[in-house]
Amino acid sequence: MLEARLLERIERKKAQLDALRPLPVAVVNRLRELILVEWIYNSNAIEGSTLTLQETRLILETGLTIGGKTLREHFEVTNHRDAIQYVEQLAVRNEAMTPFHVRQIHKIGLSQVDDASAGNYRSTQVRIAGAEHFPPEAWEVPARMTAWGEWLIQSGQSTHPVVLAALAHHRLVEIHPFVDGNGRTARLVMNLQLMQHGYPPTVILRTDRQSYYRVLSLADDGIEKSLINFIGKAVERSLTLYLEACIEQTAKPKKDDVWISLAEAAQEIPYSQEYLSLLARMGRIEAVKRGRNWFTTRKAIESYMKTLGSKLT
């Protein structure tokens, strides 16, 4: 269900990254620090945290409290860090994900925020604000989570890791097993699936919040392709970040390999900036999102244009 061009790029970049292993320790540590802050900030911001990226970094590095911010927001930062460490340990041990692990991740995430609910399935019915989907009744949750765990094991044998991670994320959110913290927990579970298959951690950006909720809503209606490709593009972004950090740059990059804005790219080809943006969002051209803006390369556009008229169109 991954868009063919996007799948090809993910596979190629994953193979490039694997060929570079073992990665330099200094580079890995630097990337981990960078992604840790990005991961925690964006995941919490999606759920409504008002902490900035710099404030999140300050809490992680110094343990200081930020004036005007709630104690809950501070715990959400440190708890998320601890939950990531737990996920990293599971990835190293390559343990099969089970509902028990999901509950442990949730317990760590809600420690000192809501100790009564932390790690415990909800006992009441809930509604998701702004969503038409109605989660199952509370009494159904334990059985649904058991079925989720069985599905995950069965599907892991035949499903592409990126597709599996996206579907595991959605099906967990769909069950909504906890009173609070379902989104953060699901994104941690998603990354555990990816990391167990050798992919770097993937961050869903705060700036993509509306698109993220939209593709989740489509998945609720059985249209899973949009979510899978949304997650796929996030995975590609992480692969690109790792490759750029790990590949030695001994010479100035060629003009066709330099990242340029879509506005600049549109001046050189018979496509509008809006159309290029659509292609980027659909994963049909290689592009990275920096802040709110998409960037691509002349090589990426040329590669896309060569596929026109083929089965990939």
Per the CB < 8 A criterion, the answer to whether 287 and 299 are in contact is no
pLDDT-above-70 percentage for the chain? 97
Which residues have C-beta within 8 Å of that of residue 139, sequence separation ≥ 6?
A: none
- Give the residue carrying structure tokens 């599907």: 155
Looking at this protein, which amino acid is placed at residue 94? N
Q: Which residues pair with 260 in a beta bridge?
A: 296
Considering the entire predicted model, what is its pTM?
Answer: 0.92
Taking only the tens place, the pLDDT of each residue in 155-178 is: 988 999 999 999 999 999 999 999
- Number of C-beta neighbours around residue 275 at 10 A: 13
C-alpha span between 312 and 127 (Å, rounded)? 40
- pLDDT averaged over the chain? 93
Give the pLDDT confidence of 255-274 residue by residue, as tens digits.
999 999 999 999 998 899 99
Residue from 74, 133, 176, 197 carrying the catalytic annotation: 176
Active site annotation includes 74? no
Cβ 102 vs Cβ 140: under 8 Å? no
Chain segment 287-313, per-residue pLDDT in tens: 998 888 999 999 999 999 888 864 434
